[in-house]
Amino acid sequence: MNDFKKILLHTCCAPCSIKCIEKLKEDNIIPVVFWYNPNIQPFKEYEIRKKTLLTYVQNNKIEYINRDEYSLKEFISEIYPHFGRERCEICYRKRLSETVKLALERGYKAFSTTLLISPYQNHDSIKKIGYELEKKYGIKFFYRDFRQYFYEGQNKAREMDFYIQKYCGCIFSEEERYMSQIIKNREKQFSIKLLRPSTMFKNQIIYYINSFLKAGKTIISSQKLDDFKNYEEWIKSLDNKTAFYLVIRKSDNKLLGIVELEMNSSEKFTGSIEYNVLPEEEEKGYEKEILKLMILKCRKYKIEKVSLLCDKSSKDFINAVILNGGILKREIQSDSKSRAVLEFIMYIK
Ligand code: SF4
């Protein structure tokens, strides 16, 4: 049995609120809807989401409190310099903190949030913050995993002709929505392109491997590029944790290099990049372009921190890494050919 009848329900939007409100009511809990979302940008978007929610609660005679605060500069300065995924924790905390404080001020015994219905949010982080605030302010955090009702709620919202947003809220999430398009546009400016291996490049890959052998160099690769017996089988064997790309010059389709982006499974939003350029094409400026393209790929895959491995002799690449904020972590003396490999750490902006 709950020792409260009413809860203050922070509400992110109308579509997410439908099923949360319905489920709370089924448990004889009366939700008082609290609109407080200074994270939603730009202003027109903020207005339409607010208006949709207010129309819904007024039509259904649901008690609500409207804290109408659109504050782009304040929001950005609060999350600065965390423009990556860490920003969400700050954003949840801001909205839930205001909810619990209002609950305390107005004498509610419990608070919650409709953010708990979305499979797109970091559910565990919201839950953790909710319980932290419960402890701090002595107001119960009403936790329930509403995620199983998300799509039902969205369908109902469509039936009711609600406005349904296409991104989470802040301008960063709006950019992420268009990331594939942004990357495609940017890629057009480069003299190279990144392609997945295919049978079309079989002879060029063999030439590539032989060029490294001739130059007495080793290919830095996690995918055993220098000892495959059968090209077609090697393609099939590429592991799916690694995004493996061939660097192709647009003007003549020549294979200039290979680059790998591996997602780190043990640490979220991190990865590693390994790269090589064909010995005869080194230090002609392609290294800089490769790095820029890989930074775009990292953004696409939401990787915020990468470790980069490169040959110590690759001056162009090392300069490009340093210019992009890369920090030297260590030097690895790798093999009998006394080749040194450098490892850098770089944060993706
Ligand atoms: S993505 Fe959503 S939760 Fe994360 S900061 Fe932006 S608005 Fe807030």
**Closest ligand 1 atom to Cα of 79:** 5
- Average pLDDT rounded to a whole number, residues 152-165: 97
Mean pLDDT, the chain, as a whole number? 91
- Average pLDDT rounded to a whole number, residues 273-286: 90
pLDDT at 275 over 70: yes
What is the predicted pLDDT for the residue at 1?
A: 54
Comparison of pLDDT for 144 and 317, the residue scoring more:
144
The share of the chain scoring above pLDDT 70, in percent, equals 95
- Average pLDDT rounded to a whole number, residues 88-95: 97
Ligand 1: residue whose CA is nearest its atom 6: 170
**Closest ligand 1 atom to Cα of 39:** 7
- Average pLDDT rounded to a whole number, residues 117-128: 96
Contact 159, 197 (CB under 8 A): no
Rounded CA-CA distance 261/273 in Å is: 5
What is the predicted pLDDT for the residue at 40?
A: 98
Handedness of CA 154, 155, 156, 160 (dihedral sign): positive
pLDDT bracket for residue 339 (50, 70, 90): low
Rounded CA-CA distance 268/252 in Å is: 38
Superfamily of domain 179-347: Gcn5-related N-acetyltransferase (GNAT) (3.40.630.30)
What is the predicted pLDDT for the residue at 79?
A: 95
pLDDT tens column, 213-254: 898 887 877 667 766 678 888 887 777 777 889 999 999 999
pLDDT bracket for residue 184 (50, 70, 90): confident
Q: Ligand 1 centroid vs 163 CA: distance in angstroms?
A: 19
Cβ(87) to ligand 1 under 6 A? yes
pLDDT bracket for residue 199 (50, 70, 90): confident
Contact 96, 133 (CB under 8 A): yes
pLDDT bracket for residue 334 (50, 70, 90): low
Contact 276, 257 (CB under 8 A): yes
What is the predicted pLDDT for the residue at 336?
A: 52
pTM (predicted TM-score): 0.76
pLDDT at 143 over 90: yes
Phi, psi torsion values for 271, nearest 5 degrees? -165, -175
Least confident segment among 102-116, 157-171, 224-238: 224-238
Most confidently modeled of 15-19, 229-233, 270-274, 280-284?
Answer: 15-19
What is the predicted pLDDT for the residue at 349?
A: 78
Handedness of CA 343, 241, 198, 290 (dihedral sign): negative
What is the predicted pLDDT for the residue at 346?
A: 93
Q: Ligand 1 centroid vs 117 CA: distance in angstroms?
A: 15
pLDDT bracket for residue 181 (50, 70, 90): confident
- Average pLDDT rounded to a whole number, residues 2-13: 90
- Average pLDDT rounded to a whole number, residues 55-60: 97
What is the predicted pLDDT for the residue at 229?
A: 73
Cβ(197) to ligand 1 under 6 A? no
Residue 198: exposure state from Cβ atoms within 10 A (0-12, 13-18, ≥19)? exposed
pLDDT bracket for residue 2 (50, 70, 90): low
Which residue ranges make up each domain of the chain?
A: 6-177, 179-347
Quickly name the fold that domain 6-177 has: Rossmann fold (3.40.50)
E strand or H helix that includes residue 120: none
Comparison of pLDDT for 275 and 346, the residue scoring more:
346
What is the predicted pLDDT for the residue at 243?
A: 86
- Average pLDDT rounded to a whole number, residues 265-272: 80
What is the predicted pLDDT for the residue at 337?
A: 55
- For residue 315, give every residue at least 6 positions away whose Cβ sits within 8 Å of its Cβ, in sequence order, or none: 283
Q: Ligand 1 centroid vs 169 CA: distance in angstroms?
A: 6
Ligand 1: residue whose CA is nearest its atom 5: 88
Cβ(91) to ligand 1 under 6 A? yes
Strands 270-277 and 327-333: unpaired
Q: Ligand 1 centroid vs 57 CA: distance in angstroms?
A: 24
